[in-house]
Amino acid sequence: MNGDWYKDRVFYQIWPRSFKDGNGDGIGDLYGVYDKLDYLKELGIGGIWFSPFYPSPNADYGYDISDYYSIAPEYGDLDIFRKVLDKAHSLDIKVILDLVINHTSDEHEWFRKSRDKDSPYRDYYFWRKGKKEGRAPNNWSSFFSKGAWTFDPETMEHYLHLHHAKQVDLNMDNPAVREEVKKIMRFWLDFGVDGFREDVITYISKPAALPDDLFFQAVKGLRFYDCGPRIHEYLQEFRTDVLDKYDCMTVGEAPMITPQRALTFVSGNHPDLNMVFGFRHMEADCLYKEYLPLPFSLRKLKRAFTSWQNALNGKAWNALYLENHDHPRVLSRYGSERYHDESGKMLAACYLLQKGTPFVYQGQELGMTNFALPSIEQYEDCVARKQYENATKVLPKKFVLRIIQRATRDNSRSPVQWTGGKNAGFSDAEPWFPVNRNYPSINAADEAADPDSVLNFYRRLIAFRTKSRIVRYGDYRELLPLSRSLYVYERTWQGETLLVICSFTEKAVRYRFPKGFAAETAELLFCNYRTAPFDAETGGTARSGRKPHCPRMTTRPYETRIYRITKQ
Ligand code: NOJ
């Protein structure tokens, strides 16, 4: 875990089921990935994160693993993965896998065996007696259902699952479980992968007594299983016993973490992990989860971005993202479908030039959008279904469906739109999940041919950031933190400044450039409009050759501009 290579690359997340179908069964697979590696190379991608492709009953689409050592037949087999890996490496693309070790599927053989009270596997999981008859062992709630415990009438005990009842929490306090985890890590690292994205890794250590959540703490989002008592010890053990022996990296998913707490995982001489994914910036239009919608607040988003940039500066390395398979499409949330191309590009600029390693989620580079389905039966996500079932007990069905349409993770799980042809070029067969109706106008083939597309903007920006030392090393400073419409930040390094201006509104906003900015010397590197005028009274436009002397601009809808300013 020594190489710094992950700092100079842009990663791309593949959620295999919806990426590209290569064998004609309507389900995305590794054959499809193999065919698209050149596309990723052209995008400038230097690493791939695969969401789980292991055998799974798919209660939570792959995050309920029943065998850690092979590949689900619908996605391929180890041979095709070998080919994908070799080709990726030949293109200088690293590959990391999802390591889901907080829980296994209830169909994993460990859990099956653990149903027998006398089996050594019993202690692989949390089997407990209820407090009283008919009552769960504690009051923990699950993210995907009501209670975090399910009762087994055969052994008269309950088992713990923080997520779906088919995702059973592993007991990491059991040394045998930790040995299993290390064995899984070694298997894939020996196979040649370059690291792991570690699923809900901050939940893997539970306090031995499994105490009740306290109401006031729970309201604030504090849980006993979050960053539990032995979390650092276990992550250090994984690092020392396995990861240190390979040139690999890790990025941990840390749902509730603050940047200060993140430092305890990612800073110091021998950090537990290389990076963590925080969540705060994904909550700028909702309360913790998208299911509690609020109006979008740019100030919330900026506070989240800036607090992470500042806290980690010089101490640790950030993981940057705006989309993944757990959130609706960002263009439909923080951007505007009406200003599709403009806001798609602006959103790219708002995070790709921050300090850290960016992750792009499949289809984000095309500006894929949310997609409302007309009935709940068409949604596949277990969370959407559960939320619908619960909420419709007290709220009108139509109203609940509208929230689901906006909030469901399925928004980001529709097939990638490759062409304007049949099934968006995703598959010759009927896709496993409906294709977004807007594919005739939003698709990779058309965007590749259009120099002004969102895709080509991503390509140029990624190419720029990958070789830019200022993006790698520069300090970050936010300007205008109080603005409700503009996000402006600069990166400064060795006498050079990058100024990034992002408008999050269709309204015209007057912006005065910072002191020292001279229109004559500032080089406009990127803009999402064809021209980049300064205000009329300033006497000219950047391209007109006339020199503006009072650098001010009035933004156009979702405008972004990136300037390079070199000290004279
Ligand atoms: C986080 C994953 O990203 C999400 O998709 C999954 O449902 C939960 N962890 C449980 O594994």
Confidence (pLDDT) at 511: 97
Pairing of strands 149-152, 157-160: antiparallel
Q: Are residues 229 and 153 in the same domain?
A: no
User: What does the alpha-carbon distance between residue 559 and residue 101 come to, in Å, rounded to a whole number?
Assistant: 42
**76-104 pLDDT, tens per residue?**
999 999 999 999 999 999 999 999 999 99
The preferred substitution site among 163, 168, 202, 204 for testing ligand 1, maximizing ligand atoms within 8 Å of CB, is 163
Active site residue 253: yes
Q: Is the CB of 323 under 6 A from ligand 1?
A: no
Q: Is the CB of 63 under 6 A from ligand 1?
A: yes
Domain count, the chain: 4
**66-76 pLDDT, tens per residue?**
999 999 999 99
320 Cα–ligand 1 center, Å: 18
Q: Are residues 292 and 392 in the same domain?
A: no
Active-site residue (options: 98, 106, 198, 199): 199
Residues 392-412, mean pLDDT to the nearest whole number:
96
Q: Is the CB of 283 under 6 A from ligand 1?
A: no
Q: Where is pLDDT greater, at 465 or 131?
A: 465
Last residue of a domain, one of 399, 434, 466: 466
Q: Are residues 159 and 296 in the same domain?
A: no
Q: Are residues 443 and 331 in the same domain?
A: yes
The preferred substitution site among 200, 381, 413 for testing ligand 1, maximizing ligand atoms within 8 Å of CB, is 200
Closest atom of ligand 1 to 100 CA is 11
Strand ranges, E, within 256-339: 275-277, 286-287, 289-293, 319-321
Confidence (pLDDT) at 471: 97
Q: Does 542 fall in a domain?
A: yes
**164-179 pLDDT, tens per residue?**
999 999 999 999 999 9
Q: Does 220 fall in a domain?
A: yes
Confidence (pLDDT) at 287: 85
**Would the pLDDT of 548 be above 70?**
no
Active-site residue (options: 21, 29, 194, 253): 253
The preferred substitution site among 54, 63, 96, 144 for testing ligand 1, maximizing ligand atoms within 8 Å of CB, is 63
**490-510 pLDDT, tens per residue?**
999 999 999 999 999 999 999
Q: Does 67 fall in a domain?
A: yes
Q: Is the CB of 65 under 6 A from ligand 1?
A: no
CATH assignment at residue 159: 3.90.400.10
The preferred substitution site among 326, 381, 411 for testing ligand 1, maximizing ligand atoms within 8 Å of CB, is 326
Q: Are residues 281 and 137 in the same domain?
A: no
310 Cα–ligand 1 center, Å: 28
19 Cα–ligand 1 center, Å: 18
255 Cα–ligand 1 center, Å: 10
Band (288; pLDDT cuts 50, 70, 90): confident
199 Cα–ligand 1 center, Å: 6
Confidence (pLDDT) at 538: 54
The single-letter DSSP state of residue 125 is B
Q: Does 160 fall in a domain?
A: yes
Closest atom of ligand 1 to 163 CA is 10
Q: Does 2 fall in a domain?
A: no
Closest atom of ligand 1 to 64 CA is 11
Residue of the CA atom closest to atom 8 of ligand 1: 63
Last residue of a domain, one of 143, 167, 191: 167
Residue of the CA atom closest to atom 6 of ligand 1: 63
**Would the pLDDT of 267 be above 70?**
yes
Q: Are residues 305 and 262 in the same domain?
A: yes
The preferred substitution site among 60, 66, 68, 321 for testing ligand 1, maximizing ligand atoms within 8 Å of CB, is 60
Band (362; pLDDT cuts 50, 70, 90): very high
Closest atom of ligand 1 to 63 CA is 11
Closest atom of ligand 1 to 144 CA is 7
C-alpha dihedral (407, 413, 419, 421), degrees to nearest 10: -90
**Would the pLDDT of 568 be above 90?**
no
164 Cα–ligand 1 center, Å: 10
**128-151 pLDDT, tens per residue?**
999 887 899 999 999 987 799 999
Q: Are residues 47 and 139 in the same domain?
A: no
414 Cα–ligand 1 center, Å: 17
Global pTM reads 0.96
Residue of the CA atom closest to atom 11 of ligand 1: 63
Q: Does 540 fall in a domain?
A: yes
Q: Are residues 215 and 341 in the same domain?
A: yes
Confidence (pLDDT) at 161: 98
Q: Does 41 fall in a domain?
A: yes
Confidence (pLDDT) at 2: 54
Residue 554: its H or E element: strand 552-554
Query: Distance of CA 459 to CAs 34, 43, 136, 379, Å?
Result: 20, 5, 52, 32
Q: Are residues 81 and 180 in the same domain?
A: yes
188 Cα–ligand 1 center, Å: 20
Mean pLDDT, the chain, integer = 95
Closest atom of ligand 1 to 51 CA is 3
* Among candidate residues 371, 434, 367, the one with its CA nearest the CA of residue 408: 371
Strand ranges, E, within 59-147: 94-99, 103-105, 127-128
CATH assignment at residue 290: 3.20.20.80
26 Cα–ligand 1 center, Å: 23
Q: Is the CB of 200 under 6 A from ligand 1?
A: yes
Q: In 184-193, which positions are buried (b, 16+ CB within 10 angstroms) versus exposed (e)? A: bbeebbeeeb
* Among candidate residues 355, 364, 306, the one with its CA nearest the CA of residue 465: 355
Q: Is the CB of 199 under 6 A from ligand 1?
A: yes
Confidence (pLDDT) at 133: 79
Q: Is the CB of 100 under 6 A from ligand 1?
A: yes
Q: Does 209 fall in a domain?
A: yes
User: What does the alpha-carbon distance between residue 18 and residue 433 come to, in Å, rounded to a whole number?
Assistant: 8
Residue of the CA atom closest to atom 3 of ligand 1: 326
**Would the pLDDT of 544 be above 70?**
no
Band (289; pLDDT cuts 50, 70, 90): confident
* Among candidate residues 292, 290, 162, the one with its CA nearest the CA of residue 223: 162
Confidence (pLDDT) at 537: 57
Q: Is the CB of 60 under 6 A from ligand 1?
A: yes
Q: Are residues 332 and 288 in the same domain?
A: yes
Confidence (pLDDT) at 35: 98
366 Cα–ligand 1 center, Å: 24
User: What does the alpha-carbon distance between residue 144 and residue 250 come to, in Å, rounded to a whole number?
Assistant: 26
The single-letter DSSP state of residue 355 is S
Q: Are residues 393 and 418 in the same domain?
A: no
Q: Are residues 428 and 356 in the same domain?
A: yes
Name the residue range of residue 146's domain: 109-167
CATH assignment at residue 517: 2.60.40.1180
Are the beta carbons of 336 and 382 closer than 8 angstroms? no
